[in-house]
Structure formats: C-alpha cells, structure tokens
Chain A
Amino acid sequence: MASSSEHYGTNKSETSLAQESSINDSYSVPEARFECPICLAWLRDPVLTSCGHRFCRSCIYSWLEKNSACPVDNMKLNKEDVFPDNFTRREISQQRTKCPNIVRGCLEELSPLDVEAHLLVCEFRIPELPDNEKLRCSFVDVGCDDKFEDEPELQRHLEQHVQKHLTLLSKAYSTISVNRNASTSASAIAQQANFWDPPSKNDGQVVLRDDNLQELLKALYEKIVYLEQKTREQDIIIANMSEQISSYNLSMTKLHQRYCNGSYLWYFNDFKNKLNAMRENPHLMYYSPGFYTSPNGYKLCVRLNLSPKDNHYIAVLIHVMKTEHDDTLDWPFSGKLSVTLIHPAQSFRNIKETMMTRPELDAFKRPVQDLNPKGFGYTEFASLEEILDQEFVQKNQLVIKVQAQTV
C-alpha cells in the first residue's frame, strides 16, 4: 500500500495548507468531479465503482473493509466492483495549478496532487517569522503577550480567548479608573472624540470602527457596572453619615438644654395653627423640651395652653421633670422662677413674671413620673388680645424665656 502511506504522509503539511488556502483555494477545493466524497480532497489513484462513483483507491478500500455498500448511494458494493479510473487519473495529472506562493514569486506550476509536497520545500514559502515581526494579539496593551504568524491564526486566537481578554480588560480598566480619579484621562477624551468622528467613507475603516464601538461599548458596560457598585457604596456611606449627623444633632440639642444654666428660650413655632388647635380642643397642651437649671441640676419644662377658665388667656406653667440624677438633688425644688414673654421688637413690652417656689406644693416635689403632673405658674399669663395686638407673634413664632435659679 505504497500509495496509501504516501497519501497519509502528505497530509502532514495540513497546517501550512490551511493557511495558504486563503490565498489560493483552487487546489485545496477541487472541482466536484475530481473530489473524493470520502476525504473531500483531490482524487488520488482514482477508482470508479460499478454504481458510477469515484473515490481515492485507499479511501474506498478502507470503507469497504467493514461495509458493503457505496458511501454515496448505499448500493451494494464489494472490492470486486471497484475499478481503476485511469481516465480521471490522466485528467487530474494534466491539471496544472500555480504554487500558492506565486504572490511571493514562485512560478512553479504543479499537479494539484503535488502541491502539498511542493509547499514543504518551496523556496518561496513563508519563512518562520522572527519574533519581532510576528503579529501581536490586539489585546497586547492590556497584557496578552501571544504572537502569531498570520492573520487567520490571530483571528482564531481572538475567538477562542474571549474570556481571557475580558479578564485582562477588566483588570486594566480598574487600574485606569484609579488613575482617572487624579486627572481626567486623556485617552478617554480621545476615545470619545473617536466615537463622534464622522463615519469614514472607506468600508474597511467602517468595520474597524465597528470593532472600536464594540470595544467602547464593552468598556462602557464595565464602567456602568463599576459605577453602580460605587453608587451603592456611596449611598450606604451617606445613609450612615446622615444617621450619625441626626444623632449628633439630637445630642447637641440635649447638651444645649443641659448647659443653658437655667436660662431657656422656647421658640413656640407655628403659633396660629397651634392656637386654632387649642381653641378646638381646650385640653390640648404644648410642652417645651426639658432644660436644666445647671448641668446636673433640676430638669424643668414649660407648658403652654389656653386658660381653662377663660380661653382668651394663655396659661404658662413650669413643670419639674424626672432626671437620672434626681437622687443627688434636694427636694422639694426650691428657687426663683421667672417667665418672660418676649416682645421681638420692643423689650419694654416684655411681659415678665417672677415667682418663688413654694415647698408645700406638689409641683415642686420629686417627680414620680417622667413629668410632674402638677405645674406651677399663671393660668392667665397674658391675654391673646394683647399678644396679637401688640405683635408678640412674629414669623408665626412666640418666644418664651424662662430663668430658673435654685436658692
């Protein structure tokens, strides 16, 4: 089977053959009548079957080792029904095809059967390229160091290593985004400019631009993902901070109330609405936040409501409140309390009342509840008429000043 071994032997040049085929396909894809249906190559030692099909001798013999039907039409077929087809053999041998290396100057004309053997020894075959002339992977900038002999090989690499390239890209991207914080990336601007360039008239260029667009899109998608994550992180940080700020504000107010040294200003906001509410509901009372006579002193608050006896008057009373350090204080609370209704413009109009505590009253005893239910003050502190006419209320706000001094 000398021909058979030769057949297999020549196929070893397949790699170079596949590359060359892009230059000249005519010898690798034979005309249908010269093609063996089994190996799909030029008929080598062609034979004809009784059913009228041509094969390479070695191909059909291999098939008939185990089968007894024609591979094409499934007709019964044995080795005895196969005859050498010398007519076709002569025709193929008369075929002349130019060496695919003609582009590099080889003028050899060969039988298609000899091309593969010739290619191995053709003096014009592509030499093994020196390292620096090989094609670099298009992802060389992000760290793919692979090199290739020619375009198809590169193309194959690009198709097969998408995952690897994506990983490299995202790595590169995270480095870039770190740098970008410091300065606006010039390359990003360049890329953007590229994006808005008018489309080139050259078709090849358009394809290239498509590639760029794909790249750009991919980069943009990655960027979006990155930014979304970043936004989420920032949201969490902001939420934590605003929580912290509001807790600071709260403790600030508390501190303020604690360190007012018994002199407290109560800004009674939204006066009109509150007044109306109190008129509708005579039992409605407003309390100020608690304040301290000294940092570790008594805690008091102011109450404002309409006088139950005459609802043309407002009542202003002081209540003693419970603190965590009541144990350290002397009870009942004893001191001087003055309440001033501040006139915002003319201080001589201020309504000021000063009173001394009276130890026999429940209002000054140590509070059992959070707020001592009994208060002390004036149930008819000022008439609403006076308050409104003399413009105590400004910007819908009434200001009450309380000064408490322990004695």
Chain B
Amino acid sequence: MANIAAQRIKREFKEVIKSEEVAKCAIKLELLNDSYTELKGEIAGPPDTPYEGGNFVLEIRVPETYPFNPPKVRFITKIWHPNISSVTGAICLDILKDQWAAAMTLRTVLLSLQALLSAAEPDDPQDAVVARQYKENLEMFKLTAKHWTNVYAGGPFVNSDCDDKIKRLIDMGIEEHQARVALSSYNWVLERATEQLFS
C-alpha cells in the first residue's frame, strides 16, 4: 500500500477517535489489520427514522490509491433501504463513486452514510424492490425497515406480526432470512410470499 494512504488513514483514525460523534456513540471506527487497509465502521441509526436504535456495521476497504480514490464501503449489517442492496450491502452514494473528493475523510463518509439513512434517494436506487416499496407504500417500507433494524441491527421495535408470518414460512421449511426477504418484498402478504417461494 502506498505510504500516503496508510499515513492518511492513521491520521484520520486519530481524528475520528477524538471526534465528538464517537463521544456521542454516533459513529465508530476500528482497525482490522496493521496495514490500515481494512477497517470496520459502525454507525448508529439516526433518530426519527426506522433505523433508530440500530447499530449498523460497515466494511471499509482502503485502496492503495487513497485518498485519490474513494474507500470501498458496504454494509455488513443487513438493512432495508432503497440505496443499499438488501442482498450484498452495496451502497449507492455519489461520494463513494464519482463525487468523491480527496479532502473527504472516513469520518465524513460515515456521517454521509448516516445522513443517507435519514434521507433516502429512491430515484437513484441500489435495491429496486425496496425503492419501489418506498415510493408506492411508504408506511409498509417503514414497517419493514424497522423490522429489519430490530432483527439485524438490534433495534428496539419488535413486530410480532412480522415474526409470526416468518415463523409460518419457517414451519414450511423456508430458511428464516429467505422468508423475511420474500415477505418484505411482497408487503408482508403471506400468500404472495409463499407463492413466490414455491414457484
């Protein structure tokens, strides 16, 4: 790895550790190896969103050409969001692509991602299914996102209706996550999810 990248990450790491967001537990950054190429980020779900109370873990890979190229970031924690793939955790955010600027830092990236959770961009989706639900049935989207936050990110809102329906599909021999995806994709209509799973 080019030394400039390692040096930058080291300096940024110190900056993040000292930042007030870390003090408020809003963001977190951890080194995963000695060469400063792999890091683990964590952001708290913003208040007044379906993600409130959840903690979302991110995988951060720093390319050799950093900071001239953006870091590669994806969600490890499964999340229901129009701009984040519910399958791979891939993120559609301009600053992680063509709008990256060398003056940005891991701290600003984490904060931007937190902002993305507060303000989705359904017209520039990463997950078409989620984006369609967001545009066609916002309440259903919120319910689903809240449920996912509860199950995968430790959020506080338990939705027993969702849990029951998933249990029904599990009893039919469907794997839990697969059942959740199917139900989420079909607005929690059990019949349609079943139909899709068994077709």
Contact = CB atoms under 8 A, between A and B. Distances in A.
Do A and B belong to a common assembly? yes
Interface of A: 8, 11-12, 14, 18, 28-29, 37-41, 59, 62-63, 65-67, 69-72, 74
B3 interface: yes
B4 A8 contact: yes
Contacts of A28: 11
Contacts, number: 53
Given A38-B102, A69-B101, A62 B68 contact: yes
Given A18-B10, A41-B11, A8 B3 contact: yes
B113 interface: no
Contacts of B4: 8, 11, 39, 59
Contacts of B6: 14
Contacts of A12: 3
Contacts of A39: 4, 7-8, 67
A361 B102 CA distance: 116
A63 B3 contact: no
Nearest to B99: A74
Nearest to B30: A159
A37 B68 CA distance: 11
Nearest to A8: B3
A148 to B, nearest CB: 14
B103 interface: yes
B33 to A, nearest CB: 9
Contacts of A67: 101
B3 A38 contact: no
A29 B14 CA distance: 10
Contacts of A65: 68
A71 B102 contact: yes
Contacts of A70: 101
7 contacts: A11-B3, A11-B7, A18-B10, A37-B102, A37-B103, A63-B102, A66-B68
A71 B70 CA distance: 12
Contacts of B2: 8
A261 B10 CA distance: 95
Interface string B124-149: 00000000000000000000000000
A28 B103 CA distance: 18
B12 interface: yes
A384 B15 CA distance: 101
